[in-house]
Amino acid sequence: MNINGINLNLLRNFAAIYEWKTLSKAAQQIGLSQPALSHSLRQMRELFEDELFVREDGKFKPTRKARELAPPIMQALGSLAETLERPVKFEPKNCDRTFRLGLSDFGSETILPLVAERLIVEAPNASCVVLQLHQGQIPQRFNLGDIDLSLMSRQSSCDEFDSETVLQESVVCLMRESEIFEEENFDLNAYASKGHVAVNLTGKLKSMVDAKLDVLGFERDVRMVVPYFNAVPEIVLRTGLFGLLPSRLAMQACEKYPLKSLPLPFEFPNMEFRLYWHPRRRREAELSWFRQIVSEVCLQL
């Protein structure tokens, strides 16, 4: 195929459909009408003698040929964009953008007030919309353009996105202040002697905590499963159940309620929290600035 016969706009349109999986979203991102993008897709199919994208479950799924074409096309477009783009000095005080930040309840309780404070002071004309997301929603929301940045515990489903580790958090056991247990006598038998409230987004009774206990020959009695950390403290207070929380949330709960936290009586890995963003956004000056704000807040906790 002679490159002189290719309209380079078709390559841009190909990349948009490949990335967004719908004609409406792709057309919106590149500034075309949906009929115009449909016409472009017909031209691409004739040019490459392949369907390229087939509709399945409401999405345009790439064919084998499209998957082969995608890497060199994406690389070429990325190199061209990097060459043509000129750095623009970003002034936060002049920014009137709305940033969309995906958080779990951990992030909402710990970093959000500090991020809001920085945003108000440094970019008084900017705004921020916070979406509370479950981990499994992040890839789809990034690909749809619904969020700019997300702070979540590390997860393999987001390996395709850019990320950085900004926070390590130990896990502790939350209990009533009146419990007789102290750190020196809080062993596995004591831990397993009580009922538990567990946090699990899938709604399952068992989690990696139970798998760890099983290896050690113990089993906990999970009496309630909730999808949010911030539901745990008052449940513990009212029921006497034990609950596991990231240490910072446990500390906040103990300041608010007559509760206490103790280190776990078995080895358990720290929670690793990462900032995620879409690779296509890595050169956006405004988003880079906002990402730096969130990162600095996390690192200073």
Q: What is the mean pLDDT of residues 159-177?
A: 91
pLDDT at 67 over 70: yes
pLDDT at 126 over 60: yes
Local confidence band at 25 (pLDDT 50, 70, 90 cut-offs):
confident
Q: What is the mean pLDDT of residues 168-183?
A: 95
| Predicted pLDDT of residue 292 | 93
Share of the chain above pLDDT 90, in %: 52
Q: Which carries the bigger pLDDT value, residue 277 or residue 133?
A: 277
pLDDT at 1 over 60: no
| Predicted pLDDT of residue 82 | 62
Question: pTM for the complete prediction?
Answer: 0.66
CATH superfamily label, 92-165+275-300: Periplasmic binding protein-like II (3.40.190.10)
pLDDT at 279 over 80: yes
CATH superfamily label, 171-269: Periplasmic binding protein-like II (3.40.190.10)
Q: Which carries the bigger pLDDT value, residue 135 or residue 275?
A: 275
Q: What is the mean pLDDT of residues 189-193?
A: 94
pLDDT at 4 over 90: no
- Quickly tell me which residue has 């068992």 as its tokens: 206
Share of the chain above pLDDT 70, in %: 93
Q: Which carries the bigger pLDDT value, residue 28 or residue 154?
A: 28
What CATH number has the domain spanning 3-84?
A: 1.10.10.10
Least trusted range by pLDDT, from 43-47, 81-85, 219-223, 269-273:
81-85
Residue in 148, 111, 144, 110 with CA at minimum distance from that of residue 129: 148
Residues 282-295 have pLDDT tens digits of: 878 899 999 999 99
pLDDT at 85 over 80: no
CB count within 10 Å of CB 238 equals 10
Q: Dihedral of CA 138/55/44/63: which sign? A: positive
Average pLDDT, the chain: 88
- Quickly tell me which residue has 């995906």 as its tokens: 102
Same CATH topology for 92-165+275-300 and 171-269: the answer is yes
pLDDT at 148 over 80: yes
Domain residue limits, the chain: 3-84, 92-165+275-300, 171-269
